[in-house]
Structure 1
Amino acid sequence: MYKKNDNIKLPEDPDTIVWKYLDLSKFLDLLMSRKLFMSRSDKFEDQYEGTFSEPTYEEIKKLSENNPEFLDYYKSHREKVVVSSWHINEYESFAMWQIFTQNNEGLAIQSTIGRLQKALKPEINYSQFIGEVNYIDYKKEYIPFDDMFFPFMFKRKSFQYEREVRIISDLSENAIKINDGIKIDVDVNQLIEKIYIHPKSENWYKKLVIELVSKLDYTIEIEKSDLESDILI
């Protein structure tokens, strides 16, 4: 269930468009299981994920001089936080296609902030929050740590192109087993407003995706990427 956290900021307009770029297998897993995969935060490619900037770390070190468990807790906490990443953009992103899909057979899910909020279903043991990532200079800027989600809502400026919004949960109080991540229940029809097919995919691939979505009893609109429209000259 989506909950509001006043410390976690979001675009005010619920119609703000967000995207998720993924391969066919992950897309089908979402449709068939009706569950959204959330990755363990320490499994992301960015090794700084969930860590602190230098000014914050120096402060935490001072606080942990007489309480070493304080620092150890922050280190292990990354294994208990799970994240689903989305990209804010009014339009498709050529860069996102390049980074997150392979072999010209990827897909992009188009949604909105409002749809993400409504798509999350109540969870018995934990809550999901949605927040926009802040991009800062980790050598100079301070990350507050009065909220356990704070280090997970900041990334280095070199990742600004991601324009990330993330669904995030803290499972540290739960006995849920987390390997690479967990799957959460979602309303798929609410989550997905439109599906875009990879701009360099063949026509047979688009037909395959349409057929698969139809056989799974979804009525989601499917389009070929706008990036490969016919040239007008």
Structure 2
Amino acid sequence: MVKENVKPKSQIEFFINKSAKEFNNDTKIYRYMDFDCFLQILDKKFYISAKKHFSDCYDAGTKVPLKDIFKNFVNVCEGKSVVLKNYTSIELIEMFKKSQNYLTSCWTLNKDDILMWQAYTHGNCGICIESTVGNVIAALDPNAIKPYLICCSPMYYNGYSSLQEVEGILFQKQNQYKGEKEVRFYFLNGIFNDESANYDKNYAVFDIDSDVLIDEVILSPFMRGNSAQVLKHKLEESNPYLEGRIYKSEISL
């Protein structure tokens, strides 16, 4: 839950998908990372990259899945084409392309998951931090966030052929990724369809309160010998607020 006496700051423009089942400020979320990224968070810096750097070209917005997109518009019934949507294909394609420049922070609902460890950490010293949707927002410095608008939702894995609105494309992925159970934050410099949202940045760095952000730290199951215990001791020694929050993965390898 959002930590005691710490609430999402009203100065931050934050929108959460309230239509998603059992998804709210208290939803526990997890982020897997390499140790150097964790050190940046301990240094109270929150790095967020643009979507165009994602490995999947469709999710990155660098390639448009035209076949799926056009399924949103025309349905052939008894030899006649029926228009299904009140937005145009051009609007949808432009939103898709524009989204590649949106700053994006990706989390997951999967705690201590072997597939997540393998996919999103490298080597033996990976880290998974547990937080909540509300604590991510509460940890951000509102002065650093302005003028960003933050939107958060779990991802949907229906592909790109059944969109109810143009903005829905931001939270859609192809079905083969459904095991990720991703939760995504977008940091937008302006509203969805405003040209000011289409800035060209590779990444941004925001000031963050790591004490508020971090509920738990899980150390990689790939750590060897007593290295997890040594690292736990060193981290708690240099960051007293982490005492009692650091655990070794329960996955046995």
TM over 0.5: yes
Question: Which residue in 1 is equivalent to 2:104?
Answer: 83
> Cα deviations across residues 202-221 of structure 1 (Å, max 9, x unaligned)?
32354235424532554351
What's the TM-score once normalised by structure 2's chain length?
0.72
The one-letter code matched in structure 2 to 1:86 is W
1:106 deviates by 0.5
Q: Deviations over 1:41-89 (max 9, x none)?
A: 11111111145674544649x946xxx7x57743541242111111103
Cα separation, 1, equivalents of 2:15 and 2:138: 12
Query: Hey, what does 2:249 align to over in structure 1?
Result: 225
Q: 1:118 to 1:8 in 2, by over 3 A?
A: farther
Change (3 A) 1:206 1:151: farther
Give distance in 2, aligned partners of 1:52 and 1:182.
28
Is contact 1:53-1:143 (8 Å) kept? no
Which residue, 4, 7, 11 being the options, matches 2:22? 11
Q: 2:101, 2:199 within 8 Å by CA — same for their partners in 1?
A: no
Distance in 2 between residues matched to 1:170 and 1:87, nearest whole Å: 20
**SS at the partner of 1:98?**
helix
Match of 2:234 among 205, 211, 221: 211
Deviation at 1:126, TM superposition (A): 1.3
Identity percentage of aligned residues = 24
2:235 and 2:108 mapped to 1: Cα distance? 25
Tell me, yes or no, if the aligned pair for 2:155 and 2:172 is still in contact at 8 Å: yes
Distance 2:122 2:217 in 1: 17
Alignment partner for residue 39 of structure 1, among 30, 33, 49? 49
What aligned pairs does 1:38-187 form with structure 2 within 5 A after superposition? 38-49=48-59, 50=61, 54-57=67-70, 59=73, 63=88, 70=91, 73-74=94-95, 76-89=97-110, 91-122=111-142, 123-138=145-160, 141-147=161-167, 150-171=168-189, 173=196, 178-179=201-202, 181-187=203-209
Would the alpha carbon gap of residues 191 and 101 (structure 1) be closer, same or farther in structure 2, given more than 3 Å must change?
same
Give the Å deviation of 1:170: 2.0
Separation in 2, partners of 1:55, 1:177: 27
Q: 1:136 to 1:177 in 2, by over 3 A?
A: closer
Amino acid at match of 1:11: E
Distance 1:214-1:167 versus aligned 2 partners, 3 A rule: farther
Relative to structure 1, the CA distance from residue 8 to residue 152 in structure 2 (aligned partners, 3 Å threshold; closer, same or farther) is farther
2:30 partner letter: W
**SS in structure 2 at match of 1:142:** coil
Q: Which amino acid aligns with 1:168?
A: Y
- Normalised by the size of structure 1, how large is the TM-score? 0.78
User: Deviations for 1:189-213, whole angstroms, at most 9, x for unmatched residues?
Assistant: 1111010111121323542354245
Looking at structure 2, the residues matched to 104 and 201 of structure 1 have their Cα atoms a distance apart, in angstroms, of: 5
Following superposition, which runs of at least 4 residues in structure 1 exceed 6 angstroms of deviation?
A: none
Q: Which residue of 1 aligns with 2:215?
A: 193
Write out per-residue CA displacement over residues 109-148 of structure 1, whole angstroms, 9 at most, x where no aligned residue. 011233223223322211212111111044xx3123443x
Structure possessing the higher relative contact order (Cα contacts under 8 Å, 6 or more residues apart):
1
2:250 partner letter? D
In structure 2, what is the Cα distance between the partners aligned to 1:158 and 1:72? 22
